[in-house]
Amino acid sequence: MSGSKQTTFTLVCAAVLSAALPGMAGYASARMEAYDQTKRELARLRAQLDETTDQTVPAPRTPANPHDPAVAGYLRSVPEAGGRGSCGSALWPGR
């Protein structure tokens, strides 16, 4: 009786391993392929980013009306906080 139980156990283990091992190998292979594909895509995107940053960047535009109080503080220097040349005095001249 014990010989047949051992044989059955051995056959069940062989059947489970014959199904599980190729499945795990396929899973690991697919994960490694996805990793390699991600590395290739990252390298392509980095090259594309380097290519776009090598192009010249246009200069920033100046506001259309430098005397507009909304943008006058942008163009003036700020000598001290709350002073006459600060952004606050440009936006609210009566302060």
Residue recorded with tokens 């192009």:
55
- Which of 1-5, 18-22, 27-31 bottoms out in mean pLDDT, i.e. has the lowest? 1-5
Q: What is the pLDDT of residue 92?
A: 58
Structure-model confidence comparison of residues 88 and 24, the more confident one: 24
DSSP state of 79: S
**High-pLDDT (> 70) share of the chain, %:** 54
Using alpha carbons only, give the angle 74, 78, 83 rounded to the nearest 5 degrees: 120
Q: What is the pLDDT of residue 38?
A: 95
Q: Is the pTM of this model over 0.75?
A: no
